[in-house]
Structure 1
């Protein structure tokens, strides 16, 4: 607790002197000066209390008023939360080939787990989600509600776009369209796929990347597939698995990243995928200047209100009980 007007406490000097002076007179009336001290029988304790109570109540009122006039304050200091971070659009391939089990437990489940862990690390960043297969669309808009982002990621399933193919160019443009107007200092797209672009309105993803670079948006590309054939579970008892070949276009994904100032990664296991997201997390750290705020709360009311209540009590006592004492 601090006081805005500490000089007001100088009023205690005349107040204390007056109390000593008055108390001395009352003491003389109540006690005889010879020893041993004897109470004056003509001056009862009841009368003493009646005569002195208003005085001491007034003294308490004055003490409380002086403290209130000194303006006691409580100062609270704390750090302001960051007001601006990075805007990140997670762009995830949901084509049927993402069910391949060459990455445990499957490509798409490993991608979802790594993405969710990444989201939890980006406390001050807005994050959104775009999914794509044969078409691309926004699944979750940019938001600071990371629980909501991870809830959308949990619902991602292979084949959810209900359109065959891998529209990487369209996915880049959809993500760009939802992040380009952002006022964040840094904007990035993390594109994860296991194949090459083979469909969509913009079938050349490099062209889409060039457009994205005009908005100062980086694209980090992640190829999620082992080098070699992989199996996909079909659910057909006659042919439970089919084998697919490695169709990842490393060269194209590298160009996309290079054009926008990002980086290409190849993940062949769940651990590698986690490591890639951790590296991106380190590369795209936002430095915040720590800002502090000071909040001042006035506390004079906790002294002023009791002073007013005591003043009313004095008036009531003087008008009722004290006046009736013989």
Structure 2
């Protein structure tokens, strides 16, 4: 532990002390010149023969008070206390589609890998923001609670895999409703960043989810990843990544997954959000980052930590006492000032 958090202020005190001494010296020289010019050398000697007997004490108290002011600025510290950190944050939840269709390779290397690359860049665009992470298929699950810990968020992004959840299919309503629940306690306008190809196997539930987002002031930033022309879904690959088998439906037909831009654009428009078609990680991350920066912010607790107690009050109180004492000391003439011999 260092006794002073900012000891550099003691160097500033030395500079201030030099400046005060220089000003006092220049003032004395100027006063001497003016007095001698007006009254002559003999008169100046008689006028300055006496003086204040407590002048040195007043000067000493003033300089001591000045020292204590700079000691307070240096922030003396000792003893430990728990400090609750606060910050002014925007509130955002990221929901990522991890259904089987995210294996499609119409976006290289595949849809989910591209989404993860974009998210890493986006997190770098939003340092110290409050962000949560959801993974969803036909149901949604919280992967990371809303946090300001960028490293934790990046770790959970790295763990996302297709079919990682125990339920199949895709529902856009599920992540919207879960995000509304996560963001309900925060005031102002918030955001849900939705990364998906837009396929929805339970579209009849979406209207109610939109209403929940609107009630909570959540803007949905929908990012469509894939192509409208569609792509086959890789089912099995070899060690080199070559596709050995494509996913088929219950009737044995090969499944083609297509980007549904119309549904995603309508969902975003219903919540005064925006739709972005995936192009490249850097471009999409920049657009989303700008949209999040425009959200309302609220001051909330971020974390707790142990810190040393700041004791600046002690030297500041001593400085005030010194200045008051210097001001209250009366004028006391030196002996012989009245001209007695």
Give the TM-score taking structure 1 as reference length. 0.62
Q: Deviations over 1:35-69 (max 9, x none)?
A: xxxxxxxxxxxxxxxxxxxxxxxxxxx99887434
Distance 2:213 2:182 in 1: 11
Q: Is the 8 A contact 2:227 2:259 kept in 1?
A: no
Unmatched tracts of structure 1, length 5 or more: 14-61, 290-294, 302-326
- 1:182 deviates by 1.1
SS state of the match for residue 191, structure 1? strand
Q: Deviations over 1:131-173 (max 9, x none)?
A: 1012111111110111111111011111111211002101110
Q: Deviations over 1:98-119 (max 9, x none)?
A: 0111211111011011011101
1:205 aligns with: 206
Whether 2:94 is the aligned partner of 1:97: answer: no
Find 1:160's aligned residue among 142, 161, 164.
Answer: 164
Q: Is the 8 A contact 1:90 1:128 kept in 2?
A: yes
Q: What does 1:167-178 correspond to in 2, within 5 Å?
A: 167-178=171-182
Structure with the greater alpha carbon radius of gyration? 1
Q: What does 1:96-135 correspond to in 2, within 5 Å?
A: 96-135=100-139
Find 1:181's aligned residue among 179, 185, 188.
Answer: 185
Distance 2:90 2:158 in 1: 22
Distance 1:287 1:176 in 2: 16
2:194 aligns with: 191
Higher RCO by CA contacts (8 Å cutoff, separation 6 or greater): 2
Distance 1:287 1:98 in 2: 29
Distance 1:236 1:106 in 2: 13
SS state of the match for residue 204, structure 1? helix
Unmatched tracts of structure 2, length 5 or more: 1-11, 25-57, 76-84, 247-253, 298-309, 317-341
Q: What does 1:1-326 correspond to in 2, within 5 Å?
A: 1=12, 67-74=63-70, 75=73, 83-183=87-187, 185-199=188-202, 203-235=204-236, 240-242=244-246, 244-267=255-278, 269=279, 271=280, 273-286=281-294, 297=312
SS state of the match for residue 92, structure 1? strand
> What RMSD over aligned residues (CA atoms) do the two structures have, in Å?
3.8
Give the TM-score taking structure 2 as reference length. 0.59
Aligned residues: 236
